[in-house]
């Protein structure tokens, strides 16, 4: 089977490319500039895509193709100005519309489409346990996730199986949130953010990629799936676990008001959270490689 990945040069896309290539799949990564895509696993290739149409890659699609759609501008880089927020939303919606255009132009329907999203879909949820049937939130990130998911919903009417990937914080050594969390701890100036009581739904990159492969291969996988480990942690618990692994103290909290001053509206990403659990993923039988936080951190940080 061929796996076509949008956003394949990013943290999650790269992990999926390695997972699928290692399992013997043909992997194609779509990129605006294929020449700049580096680090692809053996046998994978990059194909040019403008990000807004099906031009140049619709002919890759047939009944033996799976699409893993992850493309979208980073939400963690730069302050959330009105222009930045527009780009965050538009990059996701327009790329989803482009995926739909490619599918309509294809010689045959793909076997499955995996649609990227995030646990931010649920908005701030306090201590409530959040499974996939929880209603959406009303903040900016929740509205972006709703629009992103809706951008490819029409594929189901074409008879294509679709699963939605509501991903938590992905743990990896050299990219994503963890290096930013670990750096102040390594410098012995780390500590909980805000109250520290907010929940942080995390997942090891190996499980993120492994779960995506599992959903590609499982014909019963339809609808939304929380891609988060079964044991979420509070921000304080996460910080303390990281400090133990790094053998450093972590007792200097970052007050919420200071984070708002520095980050603006984006501070909500770290001061609010969801106690999201992977109920549907586990019901289908996915076995997590790293269900517990400290072994996951030790694997990544060591």
pLDDT score at 261: 46
3-class secondary structure, 45: strand
Whether 161 is covered by a domain: the verdict is yes
pLDDT score at 192: 73
CB 163 within 8 A of CB 112: yes
In this prediction, residues 192-196 reach a mean pLDDT of 78
Whether 76 is covered by a domain: the verdict is yes
pLDDT score at 196: 83
CATH number at residue 16: 3.40.50.720
Whether 220 is covered by a domain: the verdict is yes
Per the structure, the complete domain to which residue 12 belongs is given by 2-169+202-229+275-288
Residues constituting the chain: 302
Confidence of residue 65 (pLDDT cuts 50, 70, 90): very high
Query: How does the average pLDDT of the chain come out, rounded?
Result: 89
pLDDT over 60 (residue 267): no
Whether 249 is covered by a domain: the verdict is no
CB 103 within 8 A of CB 109: yes
Whether 256 is covered by a domain: the verdict is no
pLDDT score at 187: 80
Which tens digit of pLDDT belongs to each residue from 108-124?
Answer: 999 999 999 999 999 99
Whether 186 is covered by a domain: the verdict is no
Whether 147 is covered by a domain: the verdict is yes
Number of domains comprising the chain: 1
Look up residue 73 and give its two tokens.
């501008």
Whether 148 is covered by a domain: the verdict is yes
- CB burial of 141-169 (b: ≥16 within 10 Å; e: otherwise) equals bbbbbeebbebbeebeeeebbbbbbbbbb
pLDDT score at 302: 80
């Amino acid at each position: 089977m061929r796996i076509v990945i949008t956003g394949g040069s990013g943290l999650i896309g790269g992990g999926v490319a390695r997972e699928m290539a290692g399992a013997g799949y043909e992997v194609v990564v779509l990129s605006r500039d294929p020449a700049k895509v580096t680090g692809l696993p053996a046998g994978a290739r990059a194909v040019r895509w403008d990000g807004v149409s099906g031009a140049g890659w619709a002919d890759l699609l047939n009944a033996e193709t799976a699409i893993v759609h992850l493309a979208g501008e980073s939400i963690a880089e730069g302050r959330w100005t009105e222009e930045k927020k527009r780009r965050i939303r538009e990059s996701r919606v327009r790329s989803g519309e482009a995926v739909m255009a490619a599918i309509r132009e294809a010689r045959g329907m793909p076997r499955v489409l995996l649609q990227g999203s995030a646990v931010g879909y649920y908005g701030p949820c306090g201590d409530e346990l959040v499974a996939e049937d929880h209603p959406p939130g009303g903040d900016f990130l929740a509205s972006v996730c709703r629009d992103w998911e809706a951008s490819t919903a029409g594929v189901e009417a074409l008879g294509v199986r679709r699963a939605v990937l509501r991903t938590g914080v992905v743990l990896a050594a050299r990219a994503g949130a963890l290096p930013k969390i670990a750096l102040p701890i390594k410098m012995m100036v780390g500590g909980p953010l805000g109250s520290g009581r907010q929940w942080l739904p995390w997942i090891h990159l190996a499980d993120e990629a492994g779960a995506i492969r599992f959903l590609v291969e499982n014909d019963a996988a339809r609808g939304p799936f929380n891609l988060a480990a079964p044991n979420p942690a509070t921000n304080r618990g996460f910080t303390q676990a990281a400090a133990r692994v790094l053998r450093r103290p972590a007792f200097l909290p970052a007050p919420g008001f200071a984070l708002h001053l520095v980050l603006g509206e984006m501070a909500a990403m770290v001061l609010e959270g969801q106690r999201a659990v992977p109920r549907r993923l586990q019901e289908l039988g996915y076995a997590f490689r790293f269900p517990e936080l400290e072994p996951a951190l030790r694997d990544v940080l060591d």
